[in-house]
Amino acid sequence: MAVTLDNIQVELSQTSKINDVDFSNLSFGRVFSDHMFVCDFEDGAWQTPKIMPYQALSLEPSAKIFHYGQSIFEGMKAYRDSENNVFLFRPTDNIKRMNISAKRLAMPEIPEAYFMEGLKELLKIEKDWIPTTEGSALYVRPFMFATGEGFHASPADSYKFIIACAPSGPYFSGKVKVLIEEHYSRSANGGVGFAKAGGNYAGQFYPTQLAKEKGYQQVIWTDDNTHEYIEEAGAMNIFARINDTLLTVPTSDRILDGITRKSILTIAEAEGIKTEVRKIKVAELVEASENGSLKELFGAGTAAVISPISGFGFKGKDYELPVLENTYGALLKKRVTDIQTNQSSDLFGWRIKVC
């Protein structure tokens, strides 16, 4: 079924919470806008999509989300420029990835039109919730989970797809020092690391707590087999600059195919920065840090855009990154956010105008 404005049921909130929000001092993902988009999958089909006031949900204790963790999500941002135009960045890639995740978790795929038209209609209603201050955006969280009931360990027969929004500021505040993980793994070959499955993040919390107790903010995940190769930086893809080459690791079963990652690679190449996509050994980072050729390390993802890493810990030793004036990280962050917020031309056709 083609989804158009006509067949999305819209129930507007009688009151707005917008005046309670301090838009000049936003943290990440802590306040939620007035409305959400909701669509249920029942009897083998997606039902009438709705936009309704943001509200609590009612679920049976036997809903399979609680027992078997069928839950996936996406992370996107909506931007508003000085003329009140609203934009999304490469949204089709998020839709495709959501459906890659859905397939892996044995969940129904969401038709592109439901996702895209639902999101656009929601953003038109929530336009005033999109922050315009530098470093802020409306974080958009599409997610789907199993509402179908039963203790039998098998896929549910009903699901809920929701898009909720949170006006958000920066994901990290201050320096990010990371610990290179030598024992725990985020993902494994044949597993679900390439999907945005909720459980992937739950599995990261405990090792990250341990790292925090040692004074680090994030974990650098290494391969589950040997722990010799770096894979991701917390919930971000990882980049390293060695001399003047920008390196990142290839995506795989274990690594999320990040939209920021691939945008950065394209922009870097257009800027004349030499890039290499290849496996990176922890030993190579340690050696490059010791001989001074490791200039930068940063994480890349929608929430944080680019998050510079100030140093890393490995086998009980700390390695500091140099403090440079002109970093690739800062340049690439500016280039990507200028495209996202309509402050530069969109050479690659990534910016989609919503309204």
Interface map 273-312 toward ligand PLP (x if CB under 6 A): ----------------------------xx----------
173 or 225: CB nearest ligand COI: 173
**Given the rule CB under 6 A, which of 27-35, 45-53, 158-166, 231-239 is the region that contacts ligand PLP?**
231-239
Least separation in angstroms between residue 333's CB and ligand PLP is 13
Cβ 34 to ligand COI shortest distance, Å: 22
Contacts with ligand COI, residue ranges (CB under 6 A): 75, 201, 235, 301-303
Bridge-partner residues for 314, per DSSP? 317
Let me know: does 76 contact 94? Beta carbons within 8 Å: yes
| 181: nearest Cα among 242, 237, 223 | 223
- DSSP code of residue 333: H
Q: How far is the CB of 146 from ligand COI (least distance, A)?
A: 20
Nearer to ligand PLP, 167 or 258 (CB): 258
SS3 content of the chain, % helix, strand, coil (to 5): 25, 30, 45
Residue nearest ligand COI (C-beta atom): 75
Long-range interactions of 345-352: CB distance < 8 A, separation 24+: 347/270, 348/263, 348/266, 348/267, 350/89, 350/90, 350/263, 351/87, 351/88, 351/89, 352/87, 352/88, 352/89, 352/90, 352/91
Residue 232 interacts, among ligand PLP, ligand COI, none and using kind-specific CB cut-offs from 5 to 8 Å, with ligand PLP
Nearer to ligand PLP, 53 or 203 (CB): 203
178 binds ligand PLP (CB under 6 A): no
Residue pair 116/99 in contact (Cβ under 8 Å)? The answer is no
- By CB under 6 A, the residues from 238 to 267 that bind ligand PLP are 256, 258-261
DSSP 334-350: HHHHHHHTTSS--TTS-
Q: At what angle do helices 328-340 and 259-270 cross, to 10 degrees?
A: 110
- Which of 236, 247, 282, 294 binds ligand PLP (CB under 6 A)? It is 236
Is 168 a binder of ligand PLP (CB under 6 A)?
Answer: no
Which span (228-236, 267-275, 322-330, 334-342) binds ligand PLP, by CB under 6 A?
Answer: 228-236
- Is the Cβ of residue 222 or residue 302 nearer to ligand COI in the bound state? 302
Please state, in angstroms and rounded to a whole number, the distance separating the CA atoms of residues 69 and 156: 10
Rounded distance between C-alpha atoms, residue 94 and residue 37, angstroms: 16
CA distance 177 to 124: 39
| Residue that is written with structure tokens 């890659």 in the block | 100
CB of residue 332 to ligand COI, shortest distance in Å: 16
Strands 176-180 and 305-314: parallel
Tell the smallest beta-carbon distance from residue 256 to ligand PLP (Å).
4
Question: According to CB under 6 A, which one of 99, 237, 327, 342 is a site residue for ligand PLP?
Answer: 237
Give the shortest CB-12-to-ligand COI separation in angstroms.
28
**Positions that interact with ligand PLP (CB under 6 A):** 75, 196, 232, 235-237, 256, 258-261, 301-302
